Amino acid sequence: MSDSNSSISNPGALYVVATPIGNLEDLSARASRILGEVTLVAAEDTRHTARLLRHLGLSVPMLSLHEHNEQARVDQLDARLTAGESLALVSDAGTPLISDPGFVLVRELRARGRRVVPVPGACALVAALCAAGLPTDRFLFQGFLPAKGGNRRGRLEGLAVREETLVFYESPHRIRDTLADLDHCLGPRRVVLARELTKTFETFLDGSAAELLACMEADPDQSRGEFVIMVAGAGPRDDQQGTDIEADALLAALLGEGVGVKQTAGVAARLLGGARKAWYARAQSLKDDA
C-alpha cells in the first residue's frame, strides 16, 4: 500500500505529530521531516518545542495552542489552511489530544472539511501498558483523576466494578494521595506504576497500592516524575443472581433512607455501572412493590 502522506504534496493539511515523551531518539524520521516542511507549528508550550526544534536543527515559526486559547486559535489556523499552508500540531510530549490540547482544534477543522493527518509515535499510556504485564486486550483510559480528594474517590468508586485494566496519568504532587485513594476504594488489587518513561530514571513499580505507597515513603525519589498508573480490573462475577440480590439490596436501602428514585439510580450507576435509565426503572419498580 502506498503512503499518500509520505510527502507534504497536498497543501492545506494539519499534521498531528507525536513527539518524544523523554528519549529524543523516539521521534520518527517522518515526524522530523514533516516538522521541517510545515510553515507553522502549533505548540502547547513554544519554549518546550523550541528545544526539540533546535535539537533537529530546524527553524520553524511557532504559535502557542493550549487549553486556555485553543478555541480562539481555530479561525486563525483555519485561515492559514484555507490559504494552502500545511501546519503541525504538537504537545509538550507524546501524542496530542491524549490528555493534552488539540481536541477542539481537530474537531472544528474536521467539521469544516479540512484535512487532518495523524503522524503517530510516542504515547505514554501505550508505552506503559506494553511493559506492565497487565491484560491489554481491554483497558479503560481515564486520563488524570480529579484533583480534589472527594471527587477522585467518587470516580474510583464508580470504576470499582470495571473488569478492564484501568489506566490513569498522575503528577508527582498528587501520586501519594491517589495511591491512598486507590487502596481505600479498590482494595489490594495489583497496581503497576510506570515512572519517567523512556528517561534516565525510568522505573516500573509493581504491587498493591498500599505497598507502592510504602515504597514511596521509604524512598521519596520514587514519587518524582510523571506517572502512568495501571490497575488490574475487577474479577468477573459469575453469580448473576447474587449480583442482582446485592443490587436490589442497595436500591432498597437507599430508598428506605428516603433517597429519591432519581438519586438512587445515580448512585447505583456510579457504583455498579450500567445505564442510569435502567437503574431508575428498577428502583421505581422496587418502590412501587414496597
pLDDT single digits (tens) 98-112: 999 999 999 999 999
Whether residues 129 and 227 fall in one domain: yes
Considering its fold, how many domains does the chain have in total? 3
What DSSP element (H or E) covers 143? strand 139-144
- For residue 176, the domain's CATH number is 3.30.950.10
Given a contact cutoff of 8 angstroms between Cβ atoms, the answer to whether 44 and 65 are in contact is yes
With cut-offs at 50, 70 and 90, classify the pLDDT of residue 289: confident
67 vs 84: CA distance, rounded Å: 26
Whether residues 115 and 130 fall in one domain: no
Q: Does 218 fall in a domain?
A: yes
Given a contact cutoff of 8 angstroms between Cβ atoms, the answer to whether 162 and 188 are in contact is no
Whether residues 141 and 227 fall in one domain: yes
Whether residues 77 and 24 fall in one domain: yes
pTM, whole model, 2 decimals? 0.78
Whether residues 186 and 281 fall in one domain: no
Find residue 139's DSSP bridge partners.
165
279 vs 261: CA distance, rounded Å: 9
Domain boundary pick from 98, 122, 146: 122
Q: Does 6 fall in a domain?
A: no
**DSSP structure class, residue 164:** S
Whether residues 73 and 148 fall in one domain: no
pLDDT of residue 240: 47
User: 49: closest CA among 30, 62, 68?
Assistant: 62
Q: Does 8 fall in a domain?
A: no
- Owning domain of residue 223: 125-231
Q: Residues 139-155: what's their mean pLDDT?
A: 94
